[in-house]
């Protein structure tokens, strides 16, 4: 242990040199550094909530989006997202909506296999997947039915895995660097105050472990996988959810 230097007096201990950089820092315009030009990104659950907002961010960064959703009105919403991002819908040749249930593995695989060649033709390679599709259900654990628990796992865990797996297989075959983002939740790390949602929390904890496991497997194919653990976001769905359980956002601030 070195000598103790009194407060406000300069230290006489020589400073260690900073470690040498392995590569020079990247400098450039923000839009260039985060550009998604020539990239197509698939977003499951892209018809509303976090999915539709992330779609707008992809569009703003110059990428194209393919929405996978069960909602019949996702097509109308994406028109508004394109306009808000400053890109007319007709400028995005591969922007389209596909209605699919991600718990149906065969249908999900079929849709993704159709998307990949369509994305390649206008030089907008399929390079990303964001899995937002998920469900929530509140109930005390003692009253939670096995049927509802299975449905939660079907969507939030199995649907997430099958979407990621089929897209990763396409990324591997294309031999391009690609990225997958799994929307998890802070609820996968903690027990929520004011909510009894054991099944949901368990499903999101599974997503965290899934990410670490497949990242170890697929990293060799230049596929990057991350999770996003969001807190409470005031969307139309969470607002209605708060009304049902008699809670409000002030509790979670």
151 assigned to active site = no
**Any alpha helices (H) in 28-104, and if so which ranges?**
30-33, 49-60, 74-84
- Strands 223-228 and 178-183, sheet pairing: parallel
**C-alpha 106, offset from chain centre:** 22
204 assigned to active site = yes
**C-alpha 128, offset from chain centre:** 10
Token match 């990104």: residue? 41
Sheet containing strand 223-228, edge to edge, reads 96-99, 64-69, 39-44, 125-131, 178-183, 223-228
The neighbouring-strand residues paired with 179 are 128, 224
Q: Annotated catalytic residue: which of 84, 204, 221, 232?
A: 204
Instruction: At 66, give phi and psi (nearest 5°).
Output: -115, 120
Q: Annotated catalytic residue: which of 151, 200, 221, 232?
A: 200
Q: Which residues of 78-111 are buried (b: 16+ CB within 10 A; e: fewer)?
A: beebbeebebeeeebebbebbebebbebebbbeb
For residue 41, which of 143, 137, 125, 117 has the smallest C-alpha distance?
125
Structure tokens at 110: 């079929």
Catalytic site residues?
A: 200, 204
């Amino acid at each position: 242990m070195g000598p103790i230097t009194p407060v406000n007096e300069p230290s006489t201990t020589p400073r260690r040199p900073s470690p040498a950089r392995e590569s020079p820092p990247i400098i450039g315009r923000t839009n260039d550094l985060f550009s998604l030009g020539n990239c197509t990104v698939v977003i499951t659950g892209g018809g509303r909530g976090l999915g539709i907002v992330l779609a707008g961010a992809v569009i703003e960064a110059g990428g194209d989006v393919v929405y996978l959703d069960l909602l019949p009105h996702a097509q109308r919403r994406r028109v508004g997202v394109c306009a808000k991002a400053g890109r007319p819908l007709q400028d995005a040749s591969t922007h389209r909506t596909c209605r699919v249930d991600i718990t149906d593995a065969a249908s999900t695989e079929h849709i993704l296999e159709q998307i990949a060649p369509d994305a390649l033709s206008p030089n907008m390679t399929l390079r990303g997947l964001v899995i937002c599709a998920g469900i929530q259900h509140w109930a005390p654990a003692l009253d939670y039915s096995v049927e509802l628990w299975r449905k939660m796992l079907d969507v939030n865990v199995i649907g997430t895995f099958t979407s990621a797996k089929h897209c990763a297989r396409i990324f591997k075959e294309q031999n391009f660097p690609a990225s997958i983002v799994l929307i998890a939740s802070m609820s996968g790390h903690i027990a929520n105050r004011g909510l009894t949602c054991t099944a949901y929390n368990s499903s999101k904890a599974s997503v965290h472990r899934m990410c670490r496991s497949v990242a170890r497997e697929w990293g060799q194919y230049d596929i990057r996988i991350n999770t996003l653990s969001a807190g409470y976001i005031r969307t139309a769905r969470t607002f209605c959810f708060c009304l049902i359980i008699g809670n409000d956002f002030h509790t979670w601030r």
